[in-house]
């Protein structure tokens, strides 16, 4: 069995794009995957499949959600090994207190033309970021919600992406190990 993840962007945030996790599980079951686990209410799913998912799996999941809930989220689907890779490639020292202020963006594709100059211009003095082919790490000590860089990062990268804080990233790794 292959273990994969689905990371949905913008689910259950500030009263918008409401999607109960049981409905996410049901949508995934419709797509014939098994052993589905979700983590918190923000669109994180770990699941297994006996066959390759194919490049349209995320789009099919997004369309099912659109039919059922009236909105179409961005869905990043990847082999579960991406979570361990994100943890291993993290360039920052992470203290327990920074587990909520360090975020990893999972990129849909390498950012071939990111606007690094603009990113450096709008980041707060306390913020740090590091870009790789698959991830962007963003440390926001003053808070993710207050970060101008976090608010504009996807546009500046030029590729779709979805972020998870460091605590959530580690919880997903635990779910994957439990499959």
Average pLDDT over residues 110-126: 97
- Three-state SS string over 38-57 comes to EECCCCEEEEEECCCCCCCH
Position 83 scores a pLDDT of: 98
- What phi-psi label fits residue 27: left (phi over 0), alpha (psi between -120 and 50 degrees) or beta? alpha
Domain chopping of the chain, boundaries: 2-79, 88-178
pLDDT of 94 over the 80 cut: no
Q: Where are the beta strands (DSSP E) in the chain?
A: 2-8, 34-39, 44-49, 75-79, 102-107, 128-131, 135-139, 161-165
Return the structure tokens found at 17.
């794009």
Position 34 scores a pLDDT of: 97
Whole-angstrom distance, CA of residue 70 vs CA of residue 90 = 36
Position 16 scores a pLDDT of: 87
How many alpha carbons lie under 13 Å from residue 5 in its C-beta half-sphere?
26
Domains 2-79 and 88-178 share a fold: yes
Average pLDDT over residues 127-149: 96
Give the residue, 42 or 108, on which the prediction is more confident: 108
Average pLDDT over residues 160-170: 96
CATH ID of 88-178, from 1.10.20, 1.10.1220, 3.30.70, 3.90.660: 3.30.70
Q: Give the pLDDT band of residue 67 (cuts 50, 70, 90).
A: very high
For residue 74, give the DSSP letter: -
Whole-angstrom distance, CA of residue 25 vs CA of residue 41 = 12
Whole-angstrom distance, CA of residue 152 vs CA of residue 147 = 9
Return the structure tokens found at 10.
């913008």
Strand partners, 102: 139
pLDDT of 42 over the 90 cut: no
Q: Where are the beta strands (DSSP E) in 44-160?
A: 44-49, 75-79, 102-107, 128-131, 135-139
Return the structure tokens found at 85.
């890779």
Position 96 scores a pLDDT of: 67
Average pLDDT over residues 31-37: 97
Q: Give the pLDDT band of residue 95 (cuts 50, 70, 90).
A: low
Q: Nearest-5° angle of CA 13, CA 15, CA 71?
A: 80
Which architecture characterizes domain 2-79 according to CATH? 2-Layer Sandwich (3.30)
Q: Nearest-5° angle of CA 52, CA 135, CA 113?
A: 105
């Amino acid at each position: 069995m292959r273990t994969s993840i689905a990371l949905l962007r913008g689910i259950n945030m500030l009263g918008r794009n409401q999607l109960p996790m049981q409905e996410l599980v049901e949508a995934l079951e419709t797509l014939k995957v098994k052993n589905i686990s979700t983590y918190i209410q923000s669109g994180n799913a770990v699941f297994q499949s006996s066959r390759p998912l194919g490049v349209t799996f995320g789009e099919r999941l997004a369309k099912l959600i659109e039919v059922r809930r009236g909105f179409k989220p961005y869905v990043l689907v990847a082999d579960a090994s991406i979570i361990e890779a994100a943890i291993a490639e993290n360039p920052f020292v992470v203290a327990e207190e920074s587990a909520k202020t360090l975020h990893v963006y999972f990129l849909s594709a390498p950012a071939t033309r990111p606007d690094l100059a603009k990113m450096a211009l709008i980041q707060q003095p306390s913020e740090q970021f590091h870009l790789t082919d698959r991830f962007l790490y963003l440390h926001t000590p003053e808070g993710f919600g207050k970060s101008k860089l976090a608010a504009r990062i996807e546009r500046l990268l030029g590729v779709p992406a979805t972020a998870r804080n460091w605590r959530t990233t580690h919880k997903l790794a635990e779910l994957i190990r439990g499959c």
